[in-house]
Amino acid sequence: MAPPGLVGVLTVADPDICQRCAQGGPTCCCLEPGAEQGCFPLAPAERDRILGVLSGAAGAFAREANSPAFVENMKALFPGEEELVAELFPEGGFHLRLAVDAAGRCRLLGPQGCVLPREARPHYCRLFPLWPVGRTVMAFAAERCLAWREGRSLRRMLALLQTTEKNVKELHGRLRLAWGLPPERGLPAPPAPPRKKT
């Protein structure tokens, strides 16, 4: 029998795909141990949203230095906006990220997948493995991603993950705002939020 996401040549939404992925092994919620500095940043608003639904999640966050490798990764995510990224994440400064255990698993990852309701997850978690590039949306070729392995094309992955290019772009705009960039490249940057101690 075909997996739930695949029916003939048609691909249908699979609300359980990330849960099935978590049951099968490492997911996008796991890092290689030692690769924490490459983890995406977590905006204070994203942390607060998580704490709003899971008040016991205080141990799920970590403070990480803005290492040169982290800053370079961030610049690569936003080509043409390197100067602003360098201002937002200055080398020598710090950012918040999700904490992981000794095996590199996000502390919010349970046996059935993320313990958070989807709307409370960080924007980056909700976007992966999709990312807008110019006017289109690209999929990371991530072999550990079940949506990638079963979808293999942008159209099928969007369907499996129950999203659309429009949704991906809107979510990306919200991620940009949360991280301090304007919602679209070229617009004025939002005012910097007051920094909380982490």
Query: Can you give the binding site for ligand SF4, defined by CB under 6 A?
Result: 17-18, 21, 27-29, 98, 106, 108-109, 114, 116, 121-122, 125, 128-129, 144-147
Residue 176 to residue 59: CA distance in whole angstroms: 25
Q: Which is nearer to ligand SF4, 81 or 123 (CB)?
A: 123
In the complex, least distance from residue 157 CB atom to ligand SF4, rounded to whole angstroms: 9
In the complex, least distance from residue 148 CB atom to ligand SF4, rounded to whole angstroms: 6
Q: Which is nearer to ligand SF4, 17 or 88 (CB)?
A: 17
CB neighbourhood size of 76 (10 A): 10
In the complex, least distance from residue 152 CB atom to ligand SF4, rounded to whole angstroms: 13
In the complex, least distance from residue 188 CB atom to ligand SF4, rounded to whole angstroms: 30
Long-range pairs for 111-120 at CB < 8 Å and ≥24 separation?
A: 111/22, 111/23, 112/19, 112/22, 112/23, 113/18, 113/19, 113/21, 113/22, 113/27, 113/29, 114/18, 114/22, 114/29, 115/54, 116/50, 116/53, 116/54, 117/53, 120/49, 120/50, 120/52, 120/53, 120/54
Contact by Cβ (8 Å): 108, 98:
yes
Q: Which is nearer to ligand SF4, 110 or 182 (CB)?
A: 110
In the complex, least distance from residue 71 CB atom to ligand SF4, rounded to whole angstroms: 21
Q: Which is nearer to ligand SF4, 29 or 181 (CB)?
A: 29
Q: Which is nearer to ligand SF4, 19 or 67 (CB)?
A: 19
